[in-house]
Structures are given as C-alpha cells and as structure tokens.
Amino acid sequence: MKALILAAGYATRLYPITNHKPKTLLTIKGKPIIEYIIAKIEHLKEINQILIITNHRYIKEFEHWLQNYPSTLPIKIIDDGSMNGDDKRGSVGDIAFAIKQEKIEEDLLVVGGDNMFTFNLDKFMETARNSRPHSVVGTYNLNGKFQLNKFGVVKLDDKNRIVDFQEKPSVHTGSSLVAMCLYFFPSEKLPMIHEYLSQQNNPDQSGHYISWLTRQDTVYNHTFNEGSWLDIGDIDSYTEAVFTF
C-alpha cells in the first residue's frame, strides 16, 4: 500500500507566512507539520512508500527538506505542475494525477497535508481491512467545539456506513462528525476517481468526491473519539496548533 500526502495547495488564508513557504512545511515546536504526519504513517506495516504531491512553485522547498529528513520509508515528491491558485489541479485532481503518474494499482492511503492529530492510525487501518472492498473515511467528533460550516459533515447508518456527506453545510445537519481528509481507497475503487472527474465534477476539495462516492458506492466510516485533531487552514488554527501540540 502507498500513502499519498496532499500538499499542493497555496494556503492563501495563511499569507504572508506561506507566501514563500508551503503550509505543510510550517513548523510546530520546531518540526514541520509534514513530519508529524509521516511519523504516524511510518508506524503502519502496510505502507511501502510515501508519496508527497506538491506544486511547481514549492517543489524546491520540499526537495531541500527531504535531503535532510531521515525517513524509515522511501519518500517520493511529485510535482503537479501548477504555479498558482488559478491553475491548481485541486485535491481530487492531485490524487488522480498521482495515481496516473506513479501507475498506482495497489491500495492507497490519502492524508491531507494540513492534518495535525495526536492519535495513531492503527485502528483506522483495521477498519480499512475489515471494510474491503470499500473505501473508508476518517472522521473526528467535534462535539460542538467548532463551526461545522468549516468542514465536511458526515451522517452514518447503524452499520457505520456514510449515508450523507455535506461539504461545509450552511445549516446544522444534526451530526457532529466531520471528515478529516483521511481516506482509504482500495485498489478496486481507484478507477472511480477518474470516473468522477470525467463527469466534470468539482476537482478541488476532496469532500466533493466523497459526497459523490457515497451516492455511487458503499463508504465506511472510522471515527476518532480520542486525542486532538486540527485542520490547519488559517492563522487562527495554526496558532492553536502551536499551543496544542
């Protein structure tokens, strides 16, 4: 299984600190955010390679970082070719690009490069194994701590299947479960990403793909109820991460 870290965004809400530095390489307690994510992935016995997809604007910053990073797994950086927010591929577009570029035909773990969390991923992978041949979405229970309209909100049935996925809803849906940009896509389901894009669907936020996928196929959930999680999207959340982790 390969792991793909999404790190091709331009993080305009974090300007000016991301004007010349990608968000994923911003530091918390002296360590880049991406290294916290990699540390979680490295503990998974299923993973044989980590792929990091970024854009052409930030590729040299990632290459410089990797030269000095002693990973226990092979790491490859992929340049998606974009230079700014106008020509970006979007999260779903980047996943599709990485699959095509690397000729991925095995299971794929996808992690957003702005995820900060304290829990390990072992139980998530156990859910993934038990849910084959279906995809799994990692969710976190906010319990009313944050504004739901900043996240993708998930509703489940009694078999832990996702029956509704609303990307940044404007009204409360009755659920406090939000998607983390943590996905398990089994090899059998990877062609569905191309199918989604071929229908001219939104290539930007990955939640739009998950919303579509739940209407086409069975998608299972894994909820993290313990520990801390933050989606670092703006100055406030980055500041909170600095003081939380």
- 136/161 Cα distance (integer angstroms): 9
Which structural domain, as residue segments, surrounds residue 14?
2-137+181-203+228-244
In a domain, 219, yes or no: no
Evaluate whether 15 touches 96 at the Cβ level (below 8 Å).
Answer: no
DSSP secondary structure code for residue 149 in this structure: G
DSSP secondary structure code for residue 45 in this structure: T
Nearest to 3 by CA among 50, 54, 73: 50
- Confidence label for 239 from pLDDT (cuts 50, 70 and 90): confident
pLDDT at 77 over 90: yes
Q: What are phi and psi of 223, to 5 degrees?
A: -95, 130
pLDDT of 15 reads 79
pLDDT in tens, 138-164: 999 887 555 656 788 899 999 999 998
- 39/3 Cα distance (integer angstroms): 12
Evaluate whether 50 touches 5 at the Cβ level (below 8 Å).
Answer: yes
In a domain, 165, yes or no: no
In a domain, 107, yes or no: yes
Q: In the predicted model, what is the mean pLDDT of the chain?
A: 91
Q: Which residue has the tokens 């792929």?
A: 51
230 vs 42, higher pLDDT: 42
- 47/2 Cα distance (integer angstroms): 5
In a domain, 161, yes or no: no
In a domain, 160, yes or no: no
pLDDT in tens, 15-33: 777 777 888 999 999 999 9
Q: Per-residue pLDDT averaged across 199-226, rounded?
A: 93
Q: Per-residue pLDDT averaged across 190-218, rounded?
A: 95
pLDDT at 100 over 70: yes
CATH number at residue 33: 3.90.550.10
DSSP secondary structure code for residue 87 in this structure: S
In a domain, 52, yes or no: yes
What does the block give as tokens for 71? Answer: 């990973």
In a domain, 46, yes or no: yes
What does the block give as tokens for 131? Answer: 């849910």
Domain count, the chain: 1
In a domain, 240, yes or no: yes
Cα-based angle 232, 206, 28 (whole degrees, multiple of 5): 20
pLDDT at 215 over 70: yes
Evaluate whether 141 touches 225 at the Cβ level (below 8 Å).
Answer: yes
- Confidence label for 201 from pLDDT (cuts 50, 70 and 90): very high
